[in-house]
Structure 1
Amino acid sequence: MEISKLHIYVFSLFLIGMFFGVQKGNAQEETFNETFTYEEFLGVVKKYHPLVRQADLILTTSEAKLLKARGYFDPKVTADFNKKRYKDTEYYSLFNGSFKIPTWYGVELKAAFDKNQGDYINPENYVPEDGLASFGISVPVGQGLWINKRMAEVKKGKLYQELGDYERTLAVVDAITEASAAYFDWKQQYDKAKLYETFYENAKERQEWIVKSIVLGELSPIDSVESGINLKTRRLEWEQANLKLTKSRLSLSNYIWTEDEIPLEVSEQMQPEETLKDNILSVLNINPVSEEVDLENHPKLKALSTKIAMKDVDRRLMANKLLPKLNVNYNYIATPDYIDNYNWDDYKIGASLSFPILLRKERADVKIAKAELSNAQYGLKFQMQELQNKVKAKFAELNSYQEQILMNADLVSDYQQMHNAEVRLFEMGESSIFYINTRENKLVKARVSQIELENDYFLIAAELYRTLAIL
């Protein structure tokens, strides 16, 4: 769910001042816990993380490509001046200036001005003393009329812009999925650390009770050795869990940034969302009921369709090159002072024709373009089918893990009952520390399994989100 910019900004400042420490910071830590929910975490990631901002550069690049393509239609001003003077003789002084305007269908408009003089000027360059102006048009009658390189580049530039939007969406989805995995790992290690801390405290209380009972002569001294081993084991497990928690917290900090691109570090007082299992699908905008998903507007398929459209432009351009190059031009010429007095007899016309006899290069280019287009179309069909099956597989995994979590929860409940019963028997003198530790080990294993199953469930939900690409 998207949250307002103001809320994110205020929340970020709150995190900086209260619950986070800047990596270089030495501020005092707070002495109370605060929940950092998954939804709030994603809000910060989507707003400020460098990977998301980096994805925005895809749009900038695609816009630049379109701007570059439109540059092919920019008007162009040219000027050429050459002069030769030797031993007081002016051989020639030649000036030609022109202004060209390319248009969409290959037609080019041109205005020019020539002013030439000298003793040894080429006769074809003779112009009136005031110079000669011309206004004309050049038309490609054959190749280049309906499609040419300029038109193709602009069409592809517009498609690049669409492609950039789809690729940006996919990049943001990947960044969110990657960040989510870090949050899930932080939650998993936090829950394990709390679990081992609880059992360590229980083992410490039991050890103290057993020592007192031994002093009173109610228990054998060997019982303290058995309970001591369990206490040391729980202490070791807790220490290992704390190390993993620290590493996961630092990994999570890689995704926490402020609007001013300042990295933050998650403090030890922050805790993950307890009810994440109940909220994760709604946060990721996944409908857990319906597995029928409309993939026609999927960013990945849209991106492939856009690439196919670009290859089709290339195919049309290659096919157009099978036509002969036939350019016709007409220019009306007049001196600057008679430019409004049109005279049909004053003009320059020209035509050029070029056509390869065998067309082997052109025919080969068309075949290559068609093959690349067909290859992209086959790839689109495969990707569509693969996405459909992948979505179904992820939904199946999601449902399976939901069932496994429920089953394991029943096991945890049963092991808890067995452990409690064993403790009561021990208190009545009908059991031993060995049996209590055995029951407790199975209970700990079942609860750790529950945490790991929930983590797997979260990861599957995130992978389903990535597959659906719901931004």
Structure 2
Amino acid sequence: MKLRLHLLIALLLSISGLQAQSDTLLLSYREYLGYVKEYHPLAKQAKLVLSNAEAELLKARGGFDPKIEVDYDQKQFKGDEYYDILNATFKVPTWYGIELKAGFEENEGIFLNPERNVPENGLYNAGLSVSVAQGLLIDERRAQLRQAKFFVEQSKQDQTLLVNELLYKASEAYFDWLQAYKQVLLQREFLGNAEQRFRGVRSSALLGDVAIIDTVEANIPVQNRSLLLEQARIALNNKRLALSNYLWISNNIPMEVREDVIPEETLEVTLTQTLGVSPLNTEEFDLTNHPKLLSLQYKGEALEVDRQFKANNLLPRIDLEFNALSSTPDRTETFNSNDYKFGINASFPLFLRKERGALRMAKFKIQDNEFEQELAQINIANKVEALQQELTSLRQQININEDMVNSYTQMLNAEIRKFSLGESSVFLINSREQKLVEARVKQIKLEQKYYSGFAKLFQALGITEVEL
């Protein structure tokens, strides 16, 4: 009777759980995401997307930079200077399609073309050139600059999507690590239970209170739990290394999570605070501000600019240029309409097949983008709703499974008391305990699915602003 009482106390103590180890280090979920968002190479690559767009914008603005052009040509033959021609021009493009010009021309030589004759001190000119049909409202330079501005805004949204995807995958790695860690704790706990039970049964067998064969039956769970614990340790090591792929510090130095580092075990409140997502309340999120939809919207704006440019190309090309001339530029009144140089350049393709084809393609691209926007909006809305329902269901499943765990625990405790009174067997205790283990394993998996659902909702909403 004393031996059975000893076994009862050992079994009751064994199912109370393991105490937290004092020699471990905690890597919280918030701290982990902070490292990922700040130092991970993919987060830095996402910043390059915006930097590249800003470089494209700078390049487009270069189309409106003032320009100096110098054309110098000289010919000497058998001691004679055939000609010496200098033509320097300063041009200032403007946003309205008008190009301002100022120039200086100095020509001399014995075989100089008569039209190049200028005063001895050179000839100055000041004027402008403008396109009065094609290029009046929009031209290639203005189109490229407007598109580059939209490209910058689109790149900001694309950067958000890249960071969002990175944080989602990093979160999944953390949840997998947490699940593997809990599996190790569980198998370690029940291995301890099985070992204590085996010692109690062996002591009883040596005193003749139970049959020797009962020690074999009591040792089988020890062997099985030892095997499961070793498998759980391998899985934990693999998940720990997978988690390490997301941990970096400054100067692009990778980090490896040590074996004595443990995850944060209870995450539901932390997830709500960190990700800013409530699975039961997503109405406050306006999907029209979703980065995917905004990216497609800015893309559509850029495509519309391209369509306007292509439509403008259907007009005839008529370029006008007017320059007032003077040999005394220090006297502005000498630049007048009496001395001038005027030119007109006109062209118009007869069939416009190239221009009409380009315009048609531009319209198709706009339609394609509109279809993509509509499809993306429906997909995002449906995905958010599905994840919200899934999280609600998982929360209910976790509550139900918690009740099952409590019930199996009560059944196991009752079986242990019956065993102490001689009304049960090791086989029944092992059976009760196996049901409890299965329920606890299921609980761990349900919690992992629930946390993963949080991350998926975070991803679906396109969120990157996390509370760290």
Q: Check whether TM > 0.5.
A: yes
Whether 1:166 aligns to 2:157 is yes
**Which residue of the partner structure matches residue 401 of structure 1?**
394
Q: Partner of 1:98: helix, strand, or coil?
A: strand
- Return closer, same or farther for 1:433/1:92 CA change in 2, 3 Å cut-off: same
Which amino acid in the other structure matches residue 253 of structure 2?
I
**Which residue of the partner structure matches residue 290 of structure 1?**
281
- Return closer, same or farther for 1:416/1:366 CA change in 2, 3 Å cut-off: same
Q: Partner of 1:79: helix, strand, or coil?
A: strand
What is the CA–CA distance in structure 2 between the aligned matches of 1:368 and 1:49, rounded to whole Å?
40
TM alignment of 1:231-310, pairs within 5 A: 231-292=222-283, 293-310=285-302
CA contact (8 A) 1:106 1:140 kept: yes
The CA deviation at 1:445 is: 1.1
CA contact (8 A) 1:203 1:230 kept: yes
Whether 1:391 aligns to 2:384 is yes
Q: Partner of 2:211: helix, strand, or coil?
A: coil
**Which residue of the partner structure matches residue 434 of structure 1?**
427
The CA deviation at 1:31 is: 6.7
- Counterpart of 2:128 (choices 106, 124, 137) is 137
- Counterpart of 1:375 (choices 338, 343, 368) is 368
CA contact (8 A) 1:69 1:150 kept: yes
The CA deviation at 1:68 is: 0.7
Segments of structure 1 that go 5 or more residues without pairing to the other structure are 1-29
Whether 1:95 aligns to 2:86 is yes
- Counterpart of 1:360 (choices 347, 353, 366) is 353
Which amino acid in the other structure matches residue 293 of structure 2?
L
The CA deviation at 1:460 is: 1.0
TM alignment of 1:167-206, pairs within 5 A: 167-206=158-197
Further displaced range: 247-256 or 151-160: 247-256
CA contact (8 A) 1:135 1:333 kept: yes
**Which residue of the partner structure matches residue 13 of structure 1?**
none
Q: Partner of 2:323: helix, strand, or coil?
A: strand
Q: Partner of 1:266: helix, strand, or coil?
A: coil
Q: Partner of 2:136: helix, strand, or coil?
A: coil
Q: Partner of 1:296: helix, strand, or coil?
A: helix
CA contact (8 A) 1:105 1:144 kept: no
TM alignment of 1:416-435, pairs within 5 A: 416-435=409-428
The CA deviation at 1:281 is: 2.2
Whether 1:468 aligns to 2:461 is yes
- Counterpart of 2:323 (choices 327, 331, 349) is 331
What is the CA–CA distance in structure 2 between the aligned matches of 1:350 and 1:344, rounded to whole Å?
14
TM alignment of 1:97-112, pairs within 5 A: 97-112=88-103
What is the CA–CA distance in structure 2 between the aligned matches of 1:53 and 1:369, rounded to whole Å?
34
The CA deviation at 1:337 is: 5.7
Whether 1:127 aligns to 2:127 is no
Which amino acid in the other structure matches residue 408 of structure 2?
Y
CA contact (8 A) 2:124 2:329 kept: no
**Which residue of the partner structure matches residue 319 of structure 1?**
311
Q: TM-score, normalised by structure 2?
A: 0.91
**Which residue of the partner structure matches residue 74 of structure 1?**
65
CA contact (8 A) 2:65 2:93 kept: yes
CA contact (8 A) 2:408 2:432 kept: yes
What is the CA–CA distance in structure 1 between the aligned matches of 2:184 and 2:318, rounded to whole Å?
79
Which amino acid in the other structure matches residue 458 of structure 1?
Y
What is the CA–CA distance in structure 1 between the aligned matches of 2:22 and 2:368, rounded to whole Å?
61
Q: Partner of 1:287: helix, strand, or coil?
A: coil
Please list the CA deviations of residues 237-262 of structure 1 after superposition, one character each: whole Å capped at 9, or x if unmatched.
Answer: 11110111111111112222223432
What is the CA–CA distance in structure 2 between the aligned matches of 1:113 and 1:396, rounded to whole Å?
76
Please list the CA deviations of residues 389-408 of structure 1 after superposition, one character each: whole Å capped at 9, or x if unmatched.
Answer: 11100101110111111111
The CA deviation at 1:54 is: 1.6
Which amino acid in the other structure matches residue 124 of structure 1?
E
The CA deviation at 1:282 is: 2.6
Which amino acid in the other structure matches residue 142 of structure 1?
A
Q: Partner of 2:249: helix, strand, or coil?
A: coil
Q: TM-score, normalised by structure 1?
A: 0.91
What is the CA–CA distance in structure 2 between the aligned matches of 1:115 and 1:65, rounded to whole Å?
39
CA contact (8 A) 1:115 1:127 kept: yes
What is the CA–CA distance in structure 2 between the aligned matches of 1:458 and 1:402, rounded to whole Å?
10
CA contact (8 A) 2:134 2:317 kept: yes
Instruction: Identify which of structures 1 and 2 has the higher relative contact order when contacts are C-alpha pairs closer than 8 Å and 6+ apart.
Output: 2
What is the CA–CA distance in structure 2 between the aligned matches of 1:318 and 1:418, rounded to whole Å?
78
Identity of counterpart residues, as a percentage? 44
CA contact (8 A) 2:154 2:298 kept: yes
What is the CA–CA distance in structure 1 between the aligned matches of 2:330 and 2:211, rounded to whole Å?
127
Segments of structure 2 that go 5 or more residues without pairing to the other structure are 1-20
What is the CA–CA distance in structure 2 between the aligned matches of 1:226 and 1:339, rounded to whole Å?
116
Which amino acid in the other structure matches residue 352 of structure 1?
N
**Which residue of the partner structure matches residue 5 of structure 2?**
none
Please list the CA deviations of residues 393-445 of structure 1 after superposition, one character each: whole Å capped at 9, or x if unmatched.
Answer: 01011101111111111111111122222222222222222222222111111
What is the CA–CA distance in structure 1 between the aligned matches of 2:263 and 2:252, rounded to whole Å?
23
**Which residue of the partner structure matches residue 58 of structure 1?**
49
What is the CA–CA distance in structure 2 between the aligned matches of 1:160 and 1:65, rounded to whole Å?
8
The CA deviation at 1:235 is: 0.5
**Which residue of the partner structure matches residue 446 of structure 2?**
453
Further displaced range: 295-304 or 118-127: 118-127
**Which residue of the partner structure matches residue 410 of structure 1?**
403
Please list the CA deviations of residues 90-130 of structure 1 after superposition, one character each: whole Å capped at 9, or x if unmatched.
Answer: 11111111111111121111111111111111111222222
Which amino acid in the other structure matches residue 239 of structure 1?
E
The CA deviation at 1:33 is: 1.8
The CA deviation at 1:339 is: 5.0
Q: Partner of 1:440: helix, strand, or coil?
A: helix
The CA deviation at 1:449 is: 0.7
**Which residue of the partner structure matches residue 35 of structure 1?**
26
